């Protein structure tokens, strides 16, 4: 059974150097020098010396993907942890009450028919590897609804910026009421 519950720990330690951290919408997060991604319960945590904050999320089943999209994603999406992927982004996101008040089919219409989230994202595979963590279903209330995590090679950093810009310009993002953007890098 692969690990599902992950902690993102910002502080003085960790393999990822924080190159920039900024609020896109709503409150930001305190600046930190390093980030560690840890399987929850693995001993790392807020008690660690130098840890400034800790965000927790859990991987889950897909909610929106339809079969033809799933086939395309499976054919193109790379795994995390590629040696050449020395850049990463952690983008924690919260959506507003209007989003969560909608039905699943209403959300899917905005997510894909109007915003083309999957169609746009597919253009950036296999350059970008990703993992989506959900936060709403955890027992302890979390400050974000999603922790989105991406890994890519330095040569694809510009393309990643274009991807983020395209998604932020889409109707889906009108429902985002808190978003923080962290860009990270690690040594070879
Ligand atoms: C690398 C290209 C990308 C691909 C292929 C991609 C694909 C997807 C897919 C398939 C889902 C739906 C999963 C489901 O069915 O539940 C999803 C959800 C999501 N993605 Fe992306 N994505 C990409 C990039 C991004 C980026 C750059 C961001 C943030 C700036 C982002 C933020 C999100 C969020 C917040 C969700 C959850 C939406 C919700 O459940 O309301 N994605 N993505």
**Domain range summary for the chain, segments of one domain joined by +:** 5-185
Class of domain 5-185: alpha beta
User: Which pLDDT value is given to residue 93?
Assistant: 99
Ligand 1 in reach of 146 Cβ (< 6 A): yes
> Each residue of 171-180: pLDDT tens digit?
999 999 999 9
d(CA 178, CA 188): 32
d(CA 78, CA 71): 14
d(CA 126, CA 74): 10
Beta strands in 16-128 (DSSP E): 16-25, 34-39, 51-58, 87-95
Q: How far is the CA of 41 from the centre of ligand 1 (A)?
A: 26
Q: How far is the CA of 50 from the centre of ligand 1 (A)?
A: 31
* Ligand 1 nearest-atom number relative to CA 122: 5
Ligand 1 in reach of 91 Cβ (< 6 A): yes
Q: In the chain, which residues have pLDDT < 50?
A: none
* Ligand 1 nearest-atom number relative to CA 93: 35
How many CA atoms within 13 Å lie on the side-chain side of 142? 24
User: Which pLDDT value is given to residue 160?
Assistant: 98
Residue whose C-alpha is closest to residue 89's, from 138, 143, 27, 35: 35
User: Which pLDDT value is given to residue 44?
Assistant: 53
User: Which pLDDT value is given to residue 63?
Assistant: 97
Q: How far is the CA of 48 from the centre of ligand 1 (A)?
A: 31
- Structure pTM? 0.97
Calculated CA dihedral for residues 60, 65, 70, 73, nearest 10 degrees: -80
Cβ-contact 88, 151 below 8 angstroms? yes
Beta strands in 83-141 (DSSP E): 87-95, 129-134
The distance between the two most distant Cα atoms of the chain, rounded to a whole number of Å, is 47
The protein residue whose alpha carbon is closest to atom 18 in ligand 1 is 132
From residue 95, alpha-carbon distances to 41, 109, 179 in Å are 27, 16, 9
Ligand 1 in reach of 38 Cβ (< 6 A): no
User: Which pLDDT value is given to residue 1?
Assistant: 80
* Ligand 1 nearest-atom number relative to CA 129: 1
Q: Hey, is 28 helix, strand or coil? A: coil
User: Which pLDDT value is given to residue 188?
Assistant: 83
């Amino acid at each position: 059974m692969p690990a599902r519950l992950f902690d993102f720990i910002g502080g003085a330690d960790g393999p990822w150097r924080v190159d920039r951290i900024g609020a896109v919408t709503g409150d930001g997060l305190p600046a930190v020098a390093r980030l560690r991604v840890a399987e929850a319960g693995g001993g790392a945590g807020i008690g660690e010396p130098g840890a400034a904050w800790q965000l927790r999320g859990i991987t889950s089943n897909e909610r929106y993907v339809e079969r033809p999209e799933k086939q395309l994603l499976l054919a193109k999406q790379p795994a995390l942890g590629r040696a050449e992927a020395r850049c990463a982004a952690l983008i924690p996101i919260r959506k507003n009450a209007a989003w969560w008040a909608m039905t699943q089919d209403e959300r899917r219409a905005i997510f894909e028919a109007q915003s083309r989230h999957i169609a746009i994202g597919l253009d950036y595979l296999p350059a970008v590897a990703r993992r989506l963590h959900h936060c709403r279903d955890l027992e302890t209330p979390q400050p974000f609804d999603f922790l989105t995590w991406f890994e890519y090679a330095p040569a694809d950093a510009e393309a990643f910026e274009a991807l983020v810009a395209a998604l932020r310009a889409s109707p889906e993002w009108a429902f985002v009421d808190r978003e923080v953007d962290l860009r990270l890098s690690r040594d070879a």
